[in-house]
């Protein structure tokens, strides 16, 4: 018998299934990974997550493993080079925001000790659990994603609208949105 997974998952895409099974919704506390997911969720705006997943390995290469210190030093010349690279989403605002977000990310690290401490403070370092069953129950944003989005913008981040931030929260396990019947739903796993 095959595993039951979240209703939004395209089961025919092995890369997507692997991402769902091994990454999505898992608590992430590594600042490099958090910067990566913040960048990729912003890059995804208006596109499918599958598109971003296909380009992810190349993103890691050209954005220096998502090291925010290295990305913060990208020159305008480097940005122009990236805009010619078909291995990434060549949207000027998205590429430029990755560099400016790296600078804002470093400021948050300096103020809070880590981006992890900052972002997880919004939930007292404990993930929020939902128990959605159908696709229509999933919100695109929440009052909390509104608050985080507003705070990030105040700190100089771009491409961090509430919908992007809610997707980031789901991806990094800040909110646990594996569906009620999904084999990865923590409540289902605890009940077994």
Query: How many other β-carbons are positioned within 10 Å of the β-carbon of residue 126?
Result: 9
Q: Tokens representing 110?
A: 């300096």
Rounded to 10°, the helix 162-171/31-44 angle is 130
Rounded to 10°, the helix 162-171/143-154 angle is 110
Q: What are the respective helix, strand and coil percentages of the chain, to the nearest 5?
A: 60, 0, 40
- The residues annotated with a catalytic role in the active site are 19, 41, 49
**How far is residue 68's CA from residue 77's CA, in Å, rounded to a whole number?**
18
Contacts of 56 (CB under 8 A, 6+ apart): 40
User: What's the DSSP call for residue 177?
Assistant: -
């Amino acid at each position: 018998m095959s595993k039951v997974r979240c209703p939004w998952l395209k089961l025919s895409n092995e890369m997507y299934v692997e991402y769902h099974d091994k990454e999505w919704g898992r608590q992430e506390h590594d600042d490099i990974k958090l910067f990566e997911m913040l960048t990729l969720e912003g890059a995804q705006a208006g596109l499918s997550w599958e598109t971003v997943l296909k380009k992810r390995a190349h993103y890691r290469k050209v954005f220096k493993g998502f090291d925010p210190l290295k990305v913060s030093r990208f020159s305008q010349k480097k940005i122009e080079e990236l805009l010619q690279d078909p291995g990434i989403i060549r949207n000027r605002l998205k590429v430029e925001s990755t560099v400016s977000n790296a600078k804002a990310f470093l400021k948050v690290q300096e103020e809070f000790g880590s981006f992890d401490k900052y972002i997880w403070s919004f939930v007292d370092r404990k993930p929020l659990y939902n128990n959605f069953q159908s696709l229509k129950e999933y919100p695109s944003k929440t009052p909390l994603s509104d608050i985080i989005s507003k705070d990030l913008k105040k700190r100089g981040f771009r491409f961090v609208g509430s919908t992007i931030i809610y997707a980031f929260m789901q991806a990094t396990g800040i909110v646990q949105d594996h569906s009620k019947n999904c084999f990865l739903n923590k409540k289902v796993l605890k009940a077994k």
